[in-house]
Each structure stands twice: as C-alpha cells, then as structure tokens.
Structure 1
Amino acid sequence: MSFQRFLCIATDRPGDPRYERLAASPVLKVKGYSLLAKRPNYAVYGNAHMHSMVEQSRNVILLGTYYSRNGDHLSSLEGIALPRPLLSFSAMLDNIWGSYIAVQEDEDGQIFLFRDPSATLPCYMLRCGDGLTLAGSDVRDLYALSSVHPTLCWPHIARRLRTIQYRDHQTALHEVTELLPGHVTSLSKRQEAVPLWSPWAFVETNQRIFDPVQAAERLRDIALSTVQANGKRFSHALISLSGGLDSSIVSAGLAGADIPCSAVTFLSGTASGDEQRYASAVAEFLGIPLFVRHLDDYPIDITQSDAAHIPSPTGRLFWQSADQIVREVVNETKADCHFHGGGGDNVFCYLQSVAPILDALYVNGAGAKAVSVMGDMGRLTNSDLWEVFGRTWRRRLTGRRHYRWPIDDSLLTNAAAEIGKVDFRHPWLEAPKTALPGSTAHIALLLAIQNYLEGYRHEQLMPVIAPLLSQPLVELCLRIPSWMWAENGVNRAVVRKAFEGRLPQSILSRRSKGTPDGYSMALYERHRPQIRAMLHDGALAREGLIDLVAVDGILAERMPIRGEAYARILSFCDFEAWIQAWA
C-alpha cells in the first residue's frame, strides 16, 4: 500500500455496467478512497493523503504534488494553456514540476493519463478486457477492485534476474504494466504509451552549459530550490544522512531554509559501513540533531520481502533493517516525511568509464582538452595514462555510441537466459546517431535508479522524498557535459564546487563511499543453511531459472567471502520472498 494513493476507472463504452459496478464498489471505501471526479466513462479517486486539483471546465485532474517553476506550491492551473491532452501535458512539463499524475478527457471522449518524469509517484495499469482499464499507484488495490487474480510473469522475472536495474513497462505480474515516467497513454483505448518528456532533449549541443562557473551556480540554486520546495509542506523531515555528498546536499537544502528536520545514520559494524564521523560533521555544521542506529540491532527475515506491495521484485534484503530504523526514528521525532539523497550519483553523472573522454574528443577534437580529460579519468579510476589511452582507443575504434546495458547470467541456467531475453527498447536507451557516449551513459544512470525508488515498507506509512530527482535539477544536470563532472579527477566535481562553503570541507573533499557490503556478508553467513533450504524448495529452482549446483558450491565455501556471489544469492532470496507474497 502506497502512502499517497490514486485510482482511476476508465471505459471506452459510456454506460458500461461493469464500469458502473466498479465505481460503486464497497472496496473503494474499504481501501480509503474518496471520489474526486466522475464522468460517464471514467472516475478518479484518491485517499486522504493524495492532493488533487480538479479543473471541471477543462476536464483536467492533477494528482500528487506539484510546483511552479519558481518553486511555489501550485494552487491553480490558471495561465497554463490546456487545450487537449497531448498539448496540455506538454504545457505542464514547461510550467510545473513535482511528483504527479494528470488525467484529461479529449473532445472525442478518450481519456489520457500522463506521468511526470521524476518516477517518484508510481503508476500502474490493469487492463480488464473489453475496453475497461484500472490505473493507480497501488497494485494490490487494483486487483482487489477488479477481482482479477494475479499471475506471475516468468519471462519478466527471468529478465529481472539478468538485468536487475533495467526497467521497462512490463512488470512481473502478467496483468499489470507500468506507465513509464514522462509518458502518456490512453486509458480508454489499448495503445502504446508515448514519451512526451525525453532526456535527449537536454543533451543537444545548443542546450549545453560549457561554462563551469555558470554550471555550478545554476546547479546550487536549482538543487536548493527544489529540495526546499519539497520540504516546505512538512512540519518535520527525517533525513537519511550517510555523510556522503548526496544526502549532505539534501540536508543543506532543508536546514538552509530553516525547515525543521532531524537526521539518522546507520552503522553496520564494519569499517566500510561506518560513516558516523562524516554524518556527524554534516549534522554539526548544519545544526541538525543526529540519531545513530546499529543495523545489527534490527533483525532481517529473509523469508519476507519489503517489496511485496509492488509488481516486481527488487532484490534488496539488506534494507529491511534500515527500514525498521527509519520507522522507529520517525516515531521518536514525530517526523511526517522521510527525505533521502537517492539518485545523486545518477543525476550528478558519476561515471568511471572512458565515455567522458570520448565526449571531449567528439566535441573538442583530439587536442589539449581530450588529453586533460584523459588525465582526469585516470586519476578518478586510479589508472595510469597509458591504460586509459588504450581503453579509449579501443572503444573509439568500435564507433559505438549507444549504452550497452550489463547482463548478469551468473548462477542462472541457460533456460533463464532463453526465456528472459531482453530487447532494451526503452525510449531513453534509443540514442540518436550523433549521441555522445557520456550522455548515453548518463541517461542510462537515470533509468537505473528507478528500481530503487519504491519497494520499502515505510513508504506505506509516510511520504518518502527523493528531491535530487526533481525534474528541473535532472534537466539542468543533463545539460552539463560529462567531462565537467570529473574535473581534476574528482567525481561529481560540479556539485562539489556548487556547495563550497555550504558543507564541511571534509565532505566536499571526501572520495570514499560507504557500502553495506560487510553487513550483507554477515547476513549471508548467519543464514547459509536457511538460504540453501529456501532456494532448493523455492519457485526459482522449480521453474529452472537458477543453477542450484553452482549456488550450492558457493554456499559450501568456508573460506573468507570473495567476489559478489554472496550478494547475488541474497537477491535470489528476496525474489523468492516476493514470489511467495504474490503466488
């Protein structure tokens, strides 16, 4: 169950008795929905936490949270031309941003649904057949209302196992599809969704910001304004603060606007997961109370998936403990929302490949700039210049500019690869012929983060805000050339420069990143026998997707853990738990 929930019932046949029956269903009241608007061919509902704006005269309904381009909370669509759906939604993209869904009926009675580009408000659809469609943010509510029984989509589950971060319109439930961010679709006719917002519009040469001073200044202003716009509507925010750059920026934005907030940091009991000194430095610098919690004090049940309320598994067992901590500290502080810095690495173009060098070559030619960027990427990746030159030359010879999404077939069977074929037809991956390699990689990062924006238990209890994925900030960062983000061999260099004086120097100069690896390894060690039994008796093995012989070989190793196989096996457990929740 999502915290902010909407539900829409639509039919292509006004007067359809099935539509009328669903619109009058007691399930809606039981699930906490109230009617927002009703027409002969569609009805829109929201729960008590869902903000809405209904413009009866123009047949427009806006759901979620929405702001004007100057950061003010939007109270009216007055002044925005809304002639018919596609033009109306394009006008919204130019004038507002936020986390929203828009519904509009055209002059022919066709109902269109648009999802904003941020990906932070879920939108799923369940086609009931014969022109009847349900759409909403909570999949279990769609099934409850429709009385349709969920069926697992094994080809998609196999694809998720192979490409855990890739996300398209398909889900792991056969009846459910996702309306992708920035896309519009017809609810009354079965048509393919169309992208109205595209990241490619912001990486064109005439959109670029080549002045590093201007880039840093604009980034600082937009980052602060979007964080603060998101924070103003709450009485007290809880921030997950690792002391990393991204969560520190979110903290600076809230504290700088005197928005009441507290922070929490998680300790894992290992050196790689202990970031308390960094989090403490930020909290002290900004004057924010900091709560410190040990993950080991909060048990994980590997037979349960926190993503059981969404239509695809996420493979994130280790976040169960952090989720419990967030809920506990929210109760302690009386916070009414949770902010985090998720997506920062993605929006701020954290690349460790030769793509930025190739961008500099294509834009500036084989001169001093390209050599300088080669040196920057060498320092960033701890590689010598000749090694970087060799990788750059080999990639340049291929002529490849598009992004090649990684596929992981480790510990899977040949059958998984066969039924889980991926075509990677997502519009964001369809690079123009003149696309720069760094831009294609940057855009792929924006797609990859979407798998981490939902699938947490506490998101059912409070608003969870990822302000660094706000549309104005994403659009600005796409305009900044990839090589500028690695200037002087420093990752996310533009944002570090932007926040000089607003964060402790120890944070701005920090190069290391905390990881949950040590904590996950300990979780794996504690549960080896249970993991083996769970996977042997589970659906993944029964469907022939995982290689049990290979898995058993890894589980039988008693030497110190090496490599990433342990994490892979833990993700299998989360898949199994998710499958059991929906079976």
Structure 2
Amino acid sequence: MVAYVLASWEAGDAEAGGRAAILRERAASHGMTIHELGESTWLGVAGPRPPRLLQVGPWLLIGDILDRRRHFATGMAVVEDEHAYERKMFRRLWGRYVGFRLSPRGRIEAVLRDPSGSLDCFAWTASRLTLVASDAPDWLVRATRPDWRINTRRIANALADPLGSWAHALVDGPTALLPGALLTLDDMASPISLWRPDAFARYGDQDVIDDAGAAERLRNAVDEAVTGLALIGGTLGAEMSGGLDSSIVASSLARSEQADVRLWLNAYGPDPEADERPYAERLASKLEVTLTTVRRSPDLITEDMLVELGQGLRPRFNGLDAPNDLLLGRLWSEARLTSVMTGKGGDAVFVQSATSEVFSDIWRSHGWRSVFSPALPALARWNGCSVWSLIAEARRSDRTRTPPSDRTPSFAVPAYPTPPPHPWLAAGDDLGPAKLYQIAGVLNGLTFSGASPQTAVVDLLHPLLAQPVVEACLSLPTPQLTLGRRDRALARLAFRDRLPAEIADRRSKGEMTAYYGRRIAASLDVLRPWLLDGRLAALGLIDRGAAEVALDEETLIWRGGFAEIMITAALESWVREWEGRLSTAS
C-alpha cells in the first residue's frame, strides 16, 4: 500500500528547516522516495507501486488519478461556494489519492482526501513543522515528538462501535480527514465534508429509473472501476473465491484489454462449507483462465501477530486474519505481482442482506401503501416470516435512526454516554434502515485499505469500493438492489450473461465460521492472557470476568463471537503499542 509523509514549514525559519532536513533523512533511510515540492515543503512516498503526482488546478494529487468515463448524477446540484472547484473535481476524477495545496511561497495550506478513502490522511503540527501523513510510524513519532495523549473515551467508543472510531484518531492531537473532506491547515479542528454517501442516497429518490436501466448503471460502474484499476495496477493477481462478488470482478477483469493478470487464485478452507473450488473452477472455465488453488493456512495466532495489529495510527483491523495474509503475501511475492484485485465490499454496495430492513425502506417511502408492494410477500418468503411481522418491524423502524453495531464484544463495559454515531450515519434520519446499513457497509470497507501482511508486498485493489461503484449503488434504492425479493438481485441480473448459472443463481455462500472458530479456540493460550491481563482490562474498558467466560472453548463453540474477540485483541495491541511509543517520544 502507498505510504506518504509531507513536511512543511515557514519559509525563512532556519530552526524548522533544520529539523525538516533531519526528518527528510530519516524518511529516506526508511525507504521513502523524496520529492521536493518547494523551498519549504517535501514529500516522502513508499509502497509496492510508486504513486503518481499530478497537478490539477491548485492541487497536487498523489496516488492513482483517473478520469470519469461518465457520471450518472448529472442532475445532482453542485454547491456553488468557495469549494465548488473541489466538488466538481470529485465529479470529474476518481481514484485513490490525497491532494495538497501549496501557498505561493511553497508552504502547505490545505489538504483533501478522495471520496474512496483508500489512502488515509492525518494532519498535525510538531517541532514547528506541519505534517500530513497516511500513518505515524514509530520513526516519525520519535523524530517529531508530538504532544499526543491517548483518548481513553475514544477507545471505549471504539469497543462499543468500531465503525464510529473511524471518524477520529484514537489519540488527541492529529486531525483525521474523512473520505471526501478538505482541511484548511489554519483551522485543523474543522475539516469540511465535500462528499457524503447520504447525498447520493437522497439523489436516488429523485432519479427514478427502471430495473434494466439500474442494472446497466451498476454494470457500467463496475466495468469502469475494474478497467481503471487494471490500467494502473501493473502485473495483477485476482482473487476468485467462488462467491458472487469476486466472480463479478473477475468477469469484468477478464474482459479488460488493459489487464495483465498473471495469477487467478482460489484460497479454500478445510471444511466442505469453506471449500468453494467447484464454483471457482466453473467460473475459470467460463472465463477461459487458469485457476490456481491453495489451502488456507492452518497456523495459529501468535503474540507477534497480535503485536503487529497495533503498529498503525489506527488499529490494523485489516490484518486480523494474519496467518492467511502471510500465506497469500508469499504467493503474490513469488509470482512477482505488483497489485491484486479483490471482490471485497460487494456485500455492502450490492446489498447482500435482503432482510426485513429492505421492506422498512419501502415503508418509510410509501407508508401504508407499501402493503400492496409485491416485495412484501417476496421478502417474507425469503426471510421465512409472515408479512405481518415485516409490517410490524417496519412500523418500529420509523423510530430507528442509526444501525446498531454488530461487533460490540459481550464483555465490553458499556460506554457512557452512548458514543455518537459516525458522521456519515448521524445525518440519516430521513433514510431507511437498509440504506443506512448499506452506508455502514461502505464505511466498514475503509478497513480493507488498511495495512496487513499482504499490503507489505502488493497493492490490494478493491473496485467494488471505488467511487464509481459506491456512488452508483448508493443512488439506487435498496428494494431495487434486491429487486424486492433476494440478496444482490440487481447485481445478479446485471452480470447474469457473464457468470455461470451456478454462481448467478446461488442461494448459499461460503461459510468460514467453523474454520475461524477452531483457530480462535486453538489460540486461546495466547489470546486469554493478552486480553485478561492487558491494558483494556486495567483501564476498566472490558469486564474481566465476562471476558474470561467469553474466552472459553465451550462458550466459543455455542456463542461464537470470533470477530469481536479479534477486534478487541487489535485494540489491546494498539493501546500497548501507543502507550509505549508516546512515553518514549515524550
């Protein structure tokens, strides 16, 4: 993955300039390529694939920048204010980038983050330098000694609602930018959101199209994202899990003339329900590509793996499956790939959960008239319930504001007061619950761009979380994305001619619960002391007695909770690492 550090200082400040020179040498010694942007600003970049630098108007963009083929939301008004240029730029360009605006004297004065959020962005001041970076590695913290403090309340909030934690850093000091936000560095506490997912959800209410037109919009967006990322990805690998989402990406990738795919890979689990090779082989045959298969790693979780989860300015939730990440990283490296394309994010944007919330969205729009919708009996059949229970739940959903977190550990001490929802979800009072869950899924997709053992050797590309696909899917009502009857129905319709019928019509999906459950249970000798004797327990953020019960092999078998345990383990790692890191820096 791309990493960057920008340092800027007041021209003529000899002391700050000297510190910047020392920091520049440190950055170079840690593998960064240095670009001099002016007499008082330099930029260091690193990663498996060198990022592009492109001047667009007053902005220097760093990363992957692509022109939009078309934009369906031509009727969507652009706010004509002092940031109208940037809003229009978000319409005209897409990719994975951050932007810097320099003053006439070459000092940074503003920064923005692209709507996909693939590159993280933090800004802070230290040692009379203004710093903007994708992360704060140990060498950077030691060199600049920022006056930061761990925010215990934010840690508690992250336990209660991991998604909400992405609005801010878990330390007081750096300002975190949301995707699509702009920060003027004279006012670091107040980034301005120029792009928001709920705006596209609301636009869909006025931009009504039929199912055929919606399927074409979705297909065009996926093809644009896959083709664009393939163009800049270099030598590619592609995940081919056998599921619908990765199959859609693979079917688009196989049609792209720009794609140089060297390895089509299926990683299968040891259980029948986790082995999707038959589906992947059927897809490979239809696409006329050669499939390589590899058995998922049997390795257990080690303390070294847990330590790695705390190394970033954000906990490394993308590295929770470290044994498989290490295995895949070795395979990508042996194949000499620069990038790998995945199908991650499809569950969210295509609406994988055709649950009762979809009817609740219809109810919110049409009230009692929705009882005549053909989606009512179809969704009742799909969910195995009565139409009356769907109506009753829809009526209750009128009081629902934000989707509850499904990742809160049972042993977390309840945060008080209740943590505020993420800003993307806080302004959704007029949106139905299924649409809010879709936005929450897009937000969760930001974790897939975080650091992991794989990203150390290849650039992971997630076209289903790229801006063209996210905007297209957010603009379509959830009843249309499910065609009022089943999960990801519109995506199935849009790509039916490219996929084997066994995948397009498949009702099940691969199930890895037993596989991950056995790993967690077999790793309890490491996980139990990590959590029971750790800093979260000492700070009173987890109930040690409840955690002891949850970290019991029999309890795990009957209750599960594997993801929650690993998320808590990552937060524990983060607190341990950053308490030591900030103590040393100070």
Fold agreement, TM-score > 0.5: yes
Distance in structure 1 (CA, Å) of the matches to 2:368 and 2:411:
43
Distance in structure 2 (CA, Å) of the matches to 1:134 and 1:449:
26
Distance in structure 1 (CA, Å) of the matches to 2:371 and 2:336:
52
- CA, structure 1 residues 343+224, in 2 after alignment: closer, same or farther (shift >3 Å)? same
Query: Which residue of 1 is the match for residue 76 of structure 2?
Result: none
Residue by residue over 1:478-507, the C-alpha shift from the partner in whole angstroms, topping out at 9 and shown as x without a partner, is 111110122252211111100011011111
Q: CA RMSD in A?
A: 3.0
Correspondence list, 1:80-479, <5 A: 86-105=83-102, 111-128=109-126, 132-140=129-137, 142-148=140-146, 152-202=150-200, 203-204=202-203, 207-258=206-257, 259-261=259-261, 262-305=263-306, 306-314=308-316, 319-364=321-366, 366-367=368-369, 371-396=373-398, 398=399, 400=400, 402-405=402-405, 408=408, 410-413=410-413, 417-418=415-416, 421-424=418-421, 426-431=422-427, 434-479=430-475
- CA, structure 1 residues 285+332, in 2 after alignment: closer, same or farther (shift >3 Å)? farther
Secondary structure of the 1:461 match is coil
Which of these residues, 501, 504, 519, is aligned with residue 505 of structure 1?
A: 501
Distance in structure 1 (CA, Å) of the matches to 2:514 and 2:428:
41
Residue by residue over 1:509-540, the C-alpha shift from the partner in whole angstroms, topping out at 9 and shown as x without a partner, is 11222233112211122122332233233212
- CA, structure 1 residues 321+47, in 2 after alignment: closer, same or farther (shift >3 Å)? closer
For 1:288, the aligned partner's letter is V
Secondary structure of the 2:166 match is coil
Distance in structure 1 (CA, Å) of the matches to 2:372 and 2:154:
41
Secondary structure of the 1:62 match is strand
Correspondence list, 1:509-520, <5 A: 509-520=505-516
Q: Between 117-126 and 149-158, report the one with greater CA deviation.
A: 149-158
Q: Between 519-528 and 471-480, report the one with greater CA deviation.
A: 519-528
Secondary structure of the 2:509 match is coil
> 1:167 Cα shift?
3.6
2:205–2:477 Cα contact (<8 Å) kept: no
- CA, structure 1 residues 387+516, in 2 after alignment: closer, same or farther (shift >3 Å)? same
Question: Does residue 542 of structure 1 match 2:538?
Answer: yes
- CA, structure 1 residues 552+337, in 2 after alignment: closer, same or farther (shift >3 Å)? same
1:300–1:318 Cα contact (<8 Å) kept: no
Secondary structure of the 1:367 match is helix
- Aligned-residue sequence identity (percent) comes to 24
Query: Which residue of 2 is the match for residue 51 of structure 1?
Result: 51
> 1:549 Cα shift?
1.4
2:284–2:291 Cα contact (<8 Å) kept: yes
Q: Between 228-237 and 505-514, report the one with greater CA deviation.
A: 228-237
Which of these residues, 18, 23, 46, is aligned with residue 20 of structure 2?
A: 23
Residue by residue over 1:3-35, the C-alpha shift from the partner in whole angstroms, topping out at 9 and shown as x without a partner, is 322221234x44334531243121122123344
Distance in structure 2 (CA, Å) of the matches to 1:51 and 1:507:
36
- CA, structure 1 residues 527+14, in 2 after alignment: closer, same or farther (shift >3 Å)? same
Residue by residue over 1:534-579, the C-alpha shift from the partner in whole angstroms, topping out at 9 and shown as x without a partner, is 3233212222222221222234454771123454334333333344
Q: Between 279-288 and 200-209, report the one with greater CA deviation.
A: 200-209
For 1:571, the aligned partner's letter is I
Residue by residue over 1:130-171, the C-alpha shift from the partner in whole angstroms, topping out at 9 and shown as x without a partner, is 6x4211123216425424487543322222211123343322
Distance in structure 1 (CA, Å) of the matches to 2:187 and 2:369:
54
> 1:337 Cα shift?
0.9
Distance in structure 2 (CA, Å) of the matches to 1:280 and 1:339:
18
> 1:407 Cα shift?
7.2
Distance in structure 1 (CA, Å) of the matches to 2:169 and 2:505:
41
TM-score, normalised to structure 1's length?
A: 0.87
Correspondence list, 1:557-576, <5 A: 558=554, 561-576=557-572
2:160–2:405 Cα contact (<8 Å) kept: no
2:360–2:393 Cα contact (<8 Å) kept: no
Distance in structure 2 (CA, Å) of the matches to 1:548 and 1:293:
39
Secondary structure of the 1:99 match is strand
Query: Which residue of 1 is the match for residue 521 of structure 2?
Result: 525
TM-score, normalised to structure 2's length?
A: 0.87
Distance in structure 2 (CA, Å) of the matches to 1:245 and 1:336:
25
Residue by residue over 1:96-131, the C-alpha shift from the partner in whole angstroms, topping out at 9 and shown as x without a partner, is 10001111136797711010010111222233276x
> 1:311 Cα shift?
1.6
1:303–1:577 Cα contact (<8 Å) kept: no
- CA, structure 1 residues 560+164, in 2 after alignment: closer, same or farther (shift >3 Å)? closer
For 2:214, the aligned partner's letter is A
For 2:413, the aligned partner's letter is T
- CA, structure 1 residues 581+294, in 2 after alignment: closer, same or farther (shift >3 Å)? farther
For 1:502, the aligned partner's letter is R
1:104–1:111 Cα contact (<8 Å) kept: yes
2:317–2:447 Cα contact (<8 Å) kept: no
For 1:423, the aligned partner's letter is P
Query: Which residue of 2 is the match for residue 80 of structure 1?
Result: none
Q: Between 175-184 and 349-358, report the one with greater CA deviation.
A: 349-358
1:315–1:573 Cα contact (<8 Å) kept: no
Secondary structure of the 2:301 match is coil
- CA, structure 1 residues 110+88, in 2 after alignment: closer, same or farther (shift >3 Å)? farther
For 2:130, the aligned partner's letter is T
Query: Which residue of 2 is the match for residue 76 of structure 1?
Result: none
1:219–1:498 Cα contact (<8 Å) kept: yes
The number of residues matched between the two structures is: 561
Residue by residue over 1:341-385, the C-alpha shift from the partner in whole angstroms, topping out at 9 and shown as x without a partner, is 111111113344433323323444533675322223223323232
Distance in structure 2 (CA, Å) of the matches to 1:54 and 1:501:
38
In structure 1, runs of 5+ residues without a counterpart are 72-82
